[in-house]
Structure 1
Amino acid sequence: MKKTLIGLAMLFIFASSVIAADWYVDDDSSTYPSPDFTSIQDAINAASDGDVIYVADGNYPEKLVINKELQIHGESTDGTVIDASSFSGYGITLSSDNTVLSDFTLIGPATEAPTSYGIKVSGVENIGIYRVKILNSGRTGLDLHGVSDVEVGDAESSFNKGAGISVTDSESVVINNAVTTGNSWGGIALFTSGAYYPPGGSDDITITGHDSNLELIGMYKEETPGLEVTNLYAPQYVCSVRVIDPLPPNFNYFTWYFESEADADDWVVFLTENGIDRESIVEECNQQSEIPEFTGIGVAATLLGSLAIGLGKRIKKKRA
């Protein structure tokens, strides 16, 4: 398996910038007495590639479009709050390479709609997301789609109406020490599609230290026929349950992952109780930690949403 030292690379992303500016954002001037802006988006609009934006603790009712190579650092994860709940579309759109986000909370768009992702990262490379909390999005909290060389560290994605974190048609992605709680589709979802970033499929995905709470499934994959997730390393998930036949409505292939054989056994029973032929279910434990892909957000919403009904019955820097 290819090992990508993404964390180390993050230290050098901006080293080549000859001239870089620091921008300071503060909603009430309590941290930075003379801030450049009171709006994060205004700072993004003024910044150039390679600049750094520091955001003081406070409440920022806005959604963000990040289309430049920037570092954006909040003062603290819980204190710096970006509130996109009243907006439509993505809470944060990230479409630039070589970007780092850290230390803030995003309250995602509240409307349950296909575009109500918390943070949408697509078609980019060399991205770092650290100590970011994403809450209450109308779709998936953090969506990584068609990306490469991405590291997500110590992030939380909770109480979203999709998955906590999803990865689609991407390569060299590391998710370390993520916490997901109460997400409708499950904690971490791996999809393949090929629709927007052909040829599709994902490779070199590493997931370690995942903490899933109050969710139907901690991790699962949905694969489009002919497209796979390869070189997936997720050592805590020692058992898998897969259905060998494609499932409606999009007729993709599903695999679910578990930290114990007992949990996997329970899931097999649950699937059969919900109409899936036992002969089409394959349970494997103590296998090497390599997991396949999954795609089709609509499928996950339909299938996992219906399954959930049944399972529910069971189970800093200050300016000088």
Structure 2
Amino acid sequence: MEDTIPVIDVENLSDQTEGKKLRDACEKWGCFRIINHSTPLTLMAEMKRVSEALLDLPVEIKKNNKDVIAGSGYKAPSDVNPLYEALGLYDLGSSQVMQDFCSQLNVTPYQRQVMEAYGKAIHELAVKIGEKMAESLGIFGADFEDWPCQFRINKYHFTPKAIGSLGVQLHTDSGFLTILQDDESVGGLEVVNQSGSFVSVPPFHGTLLVNLGDIAKVWSNGRFFNVKHRVQCKKAAIRFSIATFMLGPRKGNVEAPIEMVDHDHPRLYQPFVYEDFRKLRVSKKMHTGEALELLRLW
């Protein structure tokens, strides 16, 4: 296996060869870099500036960013992740949730405009990638439009003393897929390949990263790989990243479509509600995909 993650050209995903490449990336890596993703570079740069401004706010203001579901609000540096803090909002597509977030942090009209434009672009991209992932498995007409997207902006306080330590502990994402705008000048992201080795994912200008989470593994009936990843401090610098997490169905159960189940591929996981699974991960402190084993049928 190569020691660099695959690169997927979003513009060419209707091409059979690129579609097969996407499926291979989902099955063998659980992550890939995307190019020609149509999100304007100017918008990405503006979103980073907004992120920096919001994360530089006084702590007493950042604490107004309350959880809607566990982990969706302000995360202060902790004993587990002392170099990391984040702000977030639960449902990027909800104007009311966006309004609440902006009110909590005294966001300016321009900052809100940037966030709304960025959120719309990334949500459309997440839906498109989800559909193409489904098509790569022979499933046409899969609808991810109503799946909520959680939004999080991250700041890592990397100091000289912190070099070699972790900015964020090893974990899988709990949702279906994550689109990450990484820091273009400060690396540190590492993923675990299927042989168990850590692979560095250095920054690359103008691209976005996609990670598959636990729900992708369930939805694909075990075909897709829920990638473990972490952030390691490689140099003394403030590091920012912007993550959009497409979670799971807003209504009904997480379960593999019937096309993914047959005599040779029995259903691997019992159907469940996404939020129940998220709570299970938190209550059991199972952050690297182990919670799926509790829901396994075979």
Same fold (TM over 0.5): no
Higher helix share: 2
In the superposition, the TM-score normalised over structure 2's length comes to 0.25
Larger relative contact order (Cα-Cα within 8 Å, sequence gap ≥ 6): 2
